[in-house]
Amino acid sequence: MNETLNVAQPLHHPEEGQNTLLAPDAALLLLTWITFFTLLVVLYKTAWKPILTALEKREAMIRKAVDNAEDAKNQLAKIAETRGQLIKEADREAREIVEASRKAAVEAAKVIEHKAEEQAQIILENAQREIKEAKEELVADLRRESAQVAVQLAEKILEENLNNEKNNKIIDQFIKNL
Amino acid sequence: MDDLKGQFALDQYIMNHVQNAQQWHLPFLPPIHLPGFLTLHGLMLLIATGLLLILLLRPRHAESRIPSKWGNALEILVLFIRDEVAVPCLGPEDGKKLTPLFCTFFIFILFLNLMGMIPFFSTATANFNVTGALALITLCFMIFGAMYKNGIKGFSHALIPSGVPVPLLFLLVPIEFVGLFIKAFALMIRLFANMLAGHIVILALLGLIIILGYFTLPFMFVMALAIYLLEVFVAFLQAYIFTLLSAMFIGLMYHPAH
């Protein structure tokens, strides 16, 4: 074990014992700069710049999309509001129409009722008048007949044939006086 | 036991594993010797860069609105850095402008940190030259970026607090000025020490197996595994903290308190 270590060490590190941990090394310093700036320039052109541009583009796109979504939402809200208003208006109109038609119907019914009443009144009056006329005629007829009967009766009783014309005069006078 | 300790120098073993080297050891292969200017940590930087380029340069369907899985993950990263790090610290305008810088900071440091968690790889961010170079970039933005943005006069406002009596300024201005460098220095040390410490703990626990004997292996293995998992978390955390603090420091200079 020790032998392998002892053999390995000089092979491994020929400058053994020489502590170079804090030794300045201008070549390494320069190499660091060269590699770093090479990377910086090449990666700037091929990696960082395209990535940053793509990121910014995407951010702008997302911002725009979010704005658009906001707009769409606002528009949708407006549409919903309009729709609600329209529905309310339509509802109101429908109610008005129903109310108006109900009123019209009630009025029409009233008119019809009124007309019917009037007509009934007319019919009733006509009937009453007809009845009255008939009654009067009937009464006149009755009087006339009863007078004739009375005359005939008196003729029979008196057995005296009187002039028919004279009789009629007497009867008319009699009716007038009645 | 005593002679074991004598022959096995734990500190050397740990140091050799965490410090920079001139060769790369892969299993079952002879060590790869690196050319003079390139060290192991330098190689790790190159590997991380190559890996990132391969992963991130894959053709993306930018036109398509729906990103692919990998693109989606990257997008989450970019979005997080932009909205949680850059914009809160720097405001919407400068934050968006500097987001690519912080994205690169984060993913580069994260990859370097995570590569250190892979066996046979090394942690480049556990080298203060690397973290120092990164912190210097932040410092440059704190100084020159702020000068470019606000002008020399605007920049001086960040150092000279308004409404302070003049004698106090002789004390405050140097403190503010030194504070700039201390902030960057703290950035460097924070990342460096965090990445180094985790590895040292893991290596110490594994080294203790040899010192104390193999019967401790299950216990040490569980402990090392727990630290390893913690280290993975720390790798993410430190990458985030470095990015966030860089953004905060740059933001403080870009928008000095009135």
Identify the pLDDT of residue B187: 93
More confident: A163 or B211: B211
Identify the pLDDT of residue A66: 94
Number of structural domains in chain B: 1
Residue range A64-90, pLDDT digits in tens: 999 999 999 999 999 999 999 999 999
In a domain, A6, yes or no: no
d(CA A43, CA A57): 19
- Closest-CA residue to B17 (of B37, B41, B36): B41
Q: Is residue B67's pLDDT more than 70?
A: no
In a domain, A62, yes or no: yes
From the list A27, A47, A52, which residue is nearest B56 (CB)? A47
Residue range B200-258, pLDDT digits in tens: 888 888 888 888 888 888 898 899 899 999 999 999 999 999 999 999 999 988 887 64
**Enclosing domain of residue A67:** 28-177
Residue range B125-138, pLDDT digits in tens: 988 899 999 999 99
CB B214 within 8 A of CB B222: no
Using a CB-CB cut-off of 8 Å, the residues of chain A touching B104 are 36, 39-40, 43-44, 48
In a domain, A15, yes or no: no
In a domain, A66, yes or no: yes
Q: Which residue of A has its CA nearest to B103?
A: A48
Q: Do residue A9 and residue B16 have CB atoms under 8 angstroms apart?
A: yes
Identify the pLDDT of residue B7: 61
In a domain, B5, yes or no: no
Average pLDDT (B149-175) is 84
d(CA B196, CA B231): 10
In a domain, B11, yes or no: no
Using a CB-CB cut-off of 8 Å, the residues of chain A touching B53 are 39, 42
The Cα of B246 is separated from the nearest Cα of chain A by a number of Å equal to 15
d(CA B229, CA B223): 10
d(CA A152, CA A161): 10
Q: Do residue A50 and residue B62 have CB atoms under 8 angstroms apart?
A: yes
Half-sphere exposure of A159 (CA within 13 A, CB side): 0
Q: What angle do CA B173, B176, B178 make, to 5 degrees?
A: 105
Report the interhelical angle of A164-177 vs A49-158 (nearest 10°): 130
In a domain, B4, yes or no: no
**Enclosing domain of residue B196:** 17-254
- Closest-CA residue to B99 (of B124, B74, B73): B74
The Cα of B49 is separated from the nearest Cα of chain A by a number of Å equal to 6
Strand partners, B32: B24
In a domain, B95, yes or no: yes
In a domain, B2, yes or no: no
The rounded percent of chain B whose pLDDT value lies above 90 is: 36
In a domain, A22, yes or no: no
Q: Do residue A38 and residue B49 have CB atoms under 8 angstroms apart?
A: yes
Q: Please give the interface size between A and B, counted as residue pairs whose CB atoms are below 8 Å apart.
A: 132
The torsion of the CA quartet B201, B207, B208, B213, rounded to 10 degrees, works out to 160
**pLDDT band for position A155 (cuts 50, 70, 90):** confident
In a domain, A65, yes or no: yes
In a domain, A79, yes or no: yes
Residue range A28-56, pLDDT digits in tens: 899 999 999 999 999 888 888 888 888 88
Average pLDDT (B89-102) is 90
From the list B48, B52, B129, which residue is nearest A28 (CB)? B129
Whole-complex ipTM: 0.86
d(CA A51, CA B182): 34
The rounded percent of chain B whose pLDDT value lies above 70 is: 92
Residue range A95-127, pLDDT digits in tens: 999 999 999 999 999 999 999 999 999 999 999
From the list B4, B19, B42, which residue is nearest A31 (CB)? B42
Identify the pLDDT of residue A2: 39
In a domain, B145, yes or no: yes
In a domain, A145, yes or no: yes
Identify the pLDDT of residue B63: 54
In a domain, B9, yes or no: no
Q: Is residue B193's pLDDT more than 80?
A: yes
Identify the pLDDT of residue A20: 72
Number of structural domains in chain A: 1
d(CA A161, CA A163): 7
Using a CB-CB cut-off of 8 Å, the residues of chain A touching B52 are 39, 43
